[in-house]
């Protein structure tokens, strides 16, 4: 076994920068793509021909390539001399997080307040969005068919909580929030609510001519930056760790492996999907055709046949990396009594015999080998039998593509909060384990 990985705070500092710059899935994949470009990867378009005889075909020669679609990115590196049937090693993750998203008619208000109409996305902890300074970001679709990213990263919105004087029982009976009535943020004063005001404001912010925005995908985010926490700064608090922590680690691992490149027995892949938080059923979700289509076209671009594709998929392994639950000091009884993942204890291996996670014994061996190679400790997670178990893109990837899949991640607290908490060392340990896995 190699020497244990010494903690590099620089990796966690970089994660904080990545989190702050990625308020939406669209910003996330743009930032990941920028890092890949700096590492020598090139973007290819799905609408272009990937013919085997074309020198510019993705995967026709060695090197790094990526595809963007909406809030998803697939990136892969073909080592020199890779055969068409060379298997893939995939790090899977997702780019979306539970939040508040702007409705088609966003301008609303009452009682002299101007508000923004929002819809609840995924399963957020609603109370975590109350009395918090909120920005607004996303993707604007323009009249000419192009898109423009926008990010108002300053206090713009607020979801105000009702004062305790008007809800005297809140501390004794708990906070009860109606998703429709109580979660609409305010953004100003005025009796005259006019359709188009919010979009006009965003057009001006993004430098888009008035009236050019014909569609939008907009969401609310906390503008409080990530920060170290604790006496010795051993904790990290920040937004969207579920699951940008894994996207960041996967991007770092792929670029690290590509930098060495020579002699890789597998083709390393990063697959970061959108819409995991609401079931993954979209053209950019794990239950869609994106990953399978890209991998197949890569095989065929290297002169492969359907037989080569089948051989490659049969030897492929995916690590589905997503956050999991660290043992909570105030609610330890909610966890399995013999499985208490701890902060900064290394990545977790997720197991559920009812296939809410895809891990089996052989998958455990693959992950254990990667951690041993990297000198990284790991922990096991299993749900308390009396508590329902969540799920990930792991079982979806395994079932849709016939790919052996292992569910892993980093243990955190406050999952699905507007601001989550992890150990400062764990992101670095995860990246090291993923690097060792991609190296084979």
Q: What is the per-residue pLDDT across 357-378, written as a single tens digit (0 to 9) for each?
A: 999 999 999 999 999 999 999 9
| C-beta separation of 95 from 251 below 8 A | no
Q: What Cα–Cα distance (Å) separates residue 258 from each residue in 39, 287, 337?
A: 8, 27, 41
Q: What local confidence, expressed as pLDDT, does residue 419 receive?
A: 98
Taking CB atoms within 8 Å and a gap of at least 24, the contacts of 4-7 are 4/375, 4/376, 4/377, 5/374, 5/375, 5/376, 5/428, 5/429, 5/432, 7/424, 7/425, 7/428
Q: Per residue in 12-22, is it b (16+ CB within 10 Å) or e — as a string?
A: bebbbebbbeb
Backbone angles phi, psi at 100, to 5 degrees: -110, 130
CA 217 to CA 275: how far, in whole Å? 13
* pLDDT tens digits along 208-241: 999 999 999 999 999 999 999 999 999 999 999 9
Q: What is the DSSP letter of 51?
A: -
Quick one: tokens of 292? 């399978």
**CA 396 to chain centroid:** 16
First to last CA, the chain: 15
**Residues with Cβ within 8 Å of residue 189, at least 6 apart in sequence:** 112, 113, 114
| C-beta separation of 96 from 73 below 8 A | no
Beta-strand relationship, 411-413 and 420-423: antiparallel
Sign of the CA dihedral with 177 first, then 180, 183, and 187 last: negative
Q: What local confidence, expressed as pLDDT, does residue 304 receive?
A: 95
Q: Per residue in 82-113, is it b (16+ CB within 10 Å) or e — as a string?
A: bebbbbbbbbbbbbbbbbbbbeeebbbbeeeb
Is 416 annotated in a binding site? The answer is: yes
Q: In what order do the strands lie in the sheet with 113-121?
A: 147-157, 134-142, 213-222, 99-110, 113-121, 186-189
Angle at 102 between CA 96 and CA 107, to 5 degrees: 170
Is 325 annotated in a binding site? The answer is: no
**CA 92 to chain centroid:** 9
CA 95 to CA 91: how far, in whole Å? 13
Backbone angles phi, psi at 149, to 5 degrees: -80, 145
Q: Tell which residue, 399, 366, 359, has the closest CA to residue 382.
A: 359
Is 85 annotated in a binding site? The answer is: no
Q: What local confidence, expressed as pLDDT, does residue 2 receive?
A: 46
Q: Tell which residue, 74, 95, 94, 73, has the closest CA to residue 24.
A: 95
Number of H helices, E strands in the chain: 10, 20
Strand partners, 135: 221
- Using DSSP, state whether 47 is helix, strand or coil: coil
**Residues with Cβ within 8 Å of residue 110, at least 6 apart in sequence:** none
Reply yes or no: is the peptide bond before residue 243 cis, omega within 30 of 0: yes
For the chain, which ranges sit under pLDDT 70? 1-5, 52-61
Query: How many residues are there in the chain?
Result: 440
Sign of the CA dihedral with 78 first, then 80, 83, and 84 last: positive
Q: What local confidence, expressed as pLDDT, does residue 329 receive?
A: 96
CA 98 to CA 147: how far, in whole Å? 23
CA 273 to CA 73: how far, in whole Å? 7
């Amino acid at each position: 076994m190699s020497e244990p990985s010494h903690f590099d705070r620089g990796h966690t500092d970089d994660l904080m920068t990545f989190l702050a710059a990625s308020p939406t899935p669209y910003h996330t994949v743009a930032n990941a793509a920028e890092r890949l470009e700096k590492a020598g990867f090139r973007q290819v378009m799905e609408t272009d021909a990937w013919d085997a005889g074309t020198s510019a075909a993705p995967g026709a020669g060695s090197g790094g390539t990526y595809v963007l679609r909406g809030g998803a990115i697939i990136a892969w590196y073909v080592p020199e001399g890779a055969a068409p049937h060379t298997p893939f090693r995939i790090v899977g993750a997702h780019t979306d997080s539970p939040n508040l998203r702007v409705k088609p008619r966003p301008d609303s208000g009452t009682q002299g307040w101007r508000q923004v109409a929002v819809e609840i996305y995924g399963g957020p902890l609603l109370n975590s969005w109350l009395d918090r300074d909120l920005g607004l970001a996303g993707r604007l679709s323009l009249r000419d068919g192009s898109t423009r990213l926008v990010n108002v990263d300053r206090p713009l919105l607020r979801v105000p909580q009702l004062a305790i004087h008007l809800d005297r029982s809140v501390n004794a009976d708990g906070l009860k929030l109606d998703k429709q009535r109580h979660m609409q943020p305010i953004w100003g004063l005025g009796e005259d609510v006019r359709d188009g005001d919010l979009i006009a404001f965003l057009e001006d912010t993004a430098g888009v001519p008035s009236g050019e925005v014909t569609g939008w995908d907009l969401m609310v985010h906390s503008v409080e930056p990530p920060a170290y926490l604790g006496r010795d700064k051993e904790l990290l608090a920040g937004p969207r760790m579920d699951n940008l922590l894994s996207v960041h680690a996967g991007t770092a691992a792929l670029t690290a492996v590509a930098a060495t490149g020579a002699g890789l027995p597998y083709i390393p892949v990063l697959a970061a999907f959108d819409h995991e938080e609401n079931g993954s059923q979209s053209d950019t979700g794990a239950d869609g055709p994106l990953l399978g289509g890209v991998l197949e076209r890569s095989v065929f671009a290297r002169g492969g046949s359907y037989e080569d594709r089948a051989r490659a998929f049969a030897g492929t392994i995916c690590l589905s990396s997503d956050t999991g639950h660290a043992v909570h000091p105030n609610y330890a009884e909610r966890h399995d009594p013999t499985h208490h993942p701890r902060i900064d204890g290394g990545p977790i291996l997720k197991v559920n015999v009812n296939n809410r996670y895809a891990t089996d014994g052989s998958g455990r061996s693959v992950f254990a080998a990667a951690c041993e190679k990297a000198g990284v400790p790991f922990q096991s997670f299993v749900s308390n039998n009396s508590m329902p178990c969540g799920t990930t893109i792991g079982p979806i990837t395994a079932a849709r593509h016939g790919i052996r899949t292992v569910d892993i991640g980093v243990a955190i607290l406050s999952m699905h909060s507007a601001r989550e908490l992890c150990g400062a060392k764990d992101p670095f340990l995860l990246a090291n384990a993923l690097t060792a896995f991609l190296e084979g």
